Amino acid sequence: MCVCVLICATFCIFCLMLLFLLGQNSVNHVDKLLLKGFRYPELEKWVRSHGYRAGQAMMLWKRLYGNNIWAHSSEELEGLNKDFRNMLTQHAEFKALHVKDIVAASDGTRKILFTLDDGLVVETVVIPCESGRTTVCVSSQVGCAMNCQFCYTGRMGLRRNLTAAEIVDQAVFARRLLTSEVGSITNVVFMGMGEPLQNIENVTKAIDIMVDEQGLQFSPRKVTVSTSGLVPQLKRFLRESNCALAVSLNATTDEVRNWIMPINRKYNIGLLLETLREELRLKHKYKVLFEYVMLAGINDSIEDAKRLVDLVRGIPCKINLISFNPHHGSLFKPTKDEKMIDFRNFLAKAGCIVLMRPSRGDDQMAACGQLGMPGEVQAPLLRVPSQFQALVEASI
C-alpha cells in the first residue's frame, strides 16, 4: 500500500511539474512581442523598460532593417552584447511571416506566398526592372472587401486586416531573400491583396517603419499607396503622408463604375475627383496617379478617353493605363494593344501625362488583379448593365 501511495504521489508531482513547465512556456510565448510592430520610439521605450540603453535599441533597429542584415533571430544580432541578445530571445519575436513558396515568372517577377500565424496565406510580388528600380508590391489585407469585378482578390471577400508587422515583414523578406538575385529593392507599392486605406492605421504605421532613415530607408516618394476611392481615408492620407497616392479609377461614368467597382455607389466619381481637387491644392509639387485597367468593350472607347480628359482636368496627375490580366471566372477580356495605344495617344494629345504599364508575372498569377485564392464561398458577381450583357455573355 505504501508503495502505491508513493507511486501516486510521485506521479502527481510529475504532472504538476509538467503543467507548470507548459504554463511557463505558454506565458513566455504570449509575452513575446513582435519587434516589427514597433515604430522606432516604441522600440526604444520597450528596450529601456528592460534596463538597456537607447543606443542598444538603435543597434537592434539597424540589424532588423539596415546594414544588409535583416535579422530574423537573436543569433543574427552580431555586435550586440550577450545579455541583451538573451533578453531578446526570451521576450521578442522577430518574424511575422513564414515563407510557404516562391514562384518565378518567365519575365523574372517573383511571387512570394507567406503563411500567417493563423494559417491564412498572403502574397507579395517582387518586380525587377532593367533600370535598377526594383519594386516590392505588398499586401495590406488577406482578401479584399471592395469586390471589384475585374479583380481576382476581390472574389475572396475580406478575411482580415494585416498587422503593421505583417506588412513590414513583406518588404524585409523581399530584401532578405531576393536582393542578391534582383538587385536593390528601392520602391514599395501597396497594390497587392486588399484595400490599403480600409486598413489605414496599420498601413500608415508600416509606412513610418519603411521610410525610417535609420532602417529600411525607402524614400517617401518611392512608396505608393493605391486606393479604390475611400474618400474620408483618402483625405486623411493626403493630409498626413508625403507618400505617393494612386487612385484606381477604371471608368468614366458612374453607371460603369457602379458595376465594376461597387465602392462608387458610396463615393461616386464626382465626389472622388472633387475631393482630390480640393486636397491637392494644399500639397506642393504633388501628382496623384490614376490607374485605369482597360477592359475590352467596357471602358476603352475614344468617348471614354474624351470623358477621362474632362474628368481629370484641374487635377495634378498622371494616368497609368493597365492591361487587364485574365483569371478564372472573369467576365472581361483585355483591350487589344493597338486600341490601348490609340487611347493613350488621344490622352497625350489632350495634354495628359500618360503611361502604359505592361503586365508583369501574369503567367504565374502574379500580375495586377491576379493575387489570392478564392475559396468555396466567394463575393457575388454583380448585375451587368444591359448595354454590356451581350458582350459579357459572348466572352464567357
pLDDT the model gives residue 221? 96
3-state secondary structure of 101: strand
Burial 339-352 (b: 16+ CB within 10 A, else e): bbebbbebbeeeeb
Report the mean per-residue pLDDT for the chain: 92
- Catalytic residue list: 123, 368
How much of the chain, in percent, has pLDDT values that exceed 90? 82
Number of Cβ within 10 Å of residue 95's Cβ equals 18
Q: How confident is the model at residue 18 (pLDDT cuts 50, 70, 90)?
A: very low
Q: In this structure, are residues 197 and 225 in contact, taking their beta carbons and an 8 Å threshold?
A: yes
Residues 206-220 pLDDT 10s: 999 999 999 999 999
Number of Cβ within 10 Å of residue 163's Cβ equals 20
pLDDT the model gives residue 10? 52
Measure the CA–CA gap between 335 and 343, rounded to whole angstroms.
10
pLDDT the model gives residue 396? 65
pLDDT the model gives residue 24? 40
Residue 164 has pLDDT above 60, yes or no: yes
Report strand pairing: 33-34 vs 92-93. Answer: parallel
Q: In this structure, are residues 250 and 298 in contact, taking their beta carbons and an 8 Å threshold?
A: no
pLDDT the model gives residue 324? 96
How much of the chain, in percent, has pLDDT values that exceed 70? 92
pLDDT the model gives residue 66? 87
Residues 6+ away with beta carbon under 8 Å from 72: 94, 95, 176
pLDDT the model gives residue 252? 98
Residues 124-150 pLDDT 10s: 999 998 777 899 999 999 999 999 999
Torsion-angle region of residue 268: left (phi > 0), alpha (psi -120 to 50) or beta?
beta
DSSP 321: E
pLDDT the model gives residue 71? 95
Q: In this structure, are residues 87 and 52 in contact, taking their beta carbons and an 8 Å threshold?
A: yes
Residues 39-85 pLDDT 10s: 999 999 999 999 999 999 999 999 999 888 999 999 999 899 999 99
pLDDT the model gives residue 28? 39
Q: In this structure, are residues 127 and 134 in contact, taking their beta carbons and an 8 Å threshold?
A: yes
Mean pLDDT along residues 367-386: 88
Cell matching residue 350:
489632350
3-state secondary structure of 194: coil
Residues 221-263 pLDDT 10s: 999 999 999 999 999 999 999 999 999 999 999 999 999 999 9
Mean pLDDT along residues 175-198: 96
Cell matching residue 391:
458582350
pLDDT the model gives residue 29? 42
pLDDT the model gives residue 82? 95
Number of Cβ within 10 Å of residue 147's Cβ equals 22
Pick the closest to residue 208 from 160, 236, 169, 241 (CA basis).
Answer: 241
Q: The whole model's pTM is what? A: 0.91
Poorest-confidence range of 18-32, 281-295, 304-318? 18-32
Cell matching residue 353:
501625362
Residue 7 has pLDDT above 60, yes or no: no
Q: How confident is the model at residue 25 (pLDDT cuts 50, 70, 90)?
A: very low
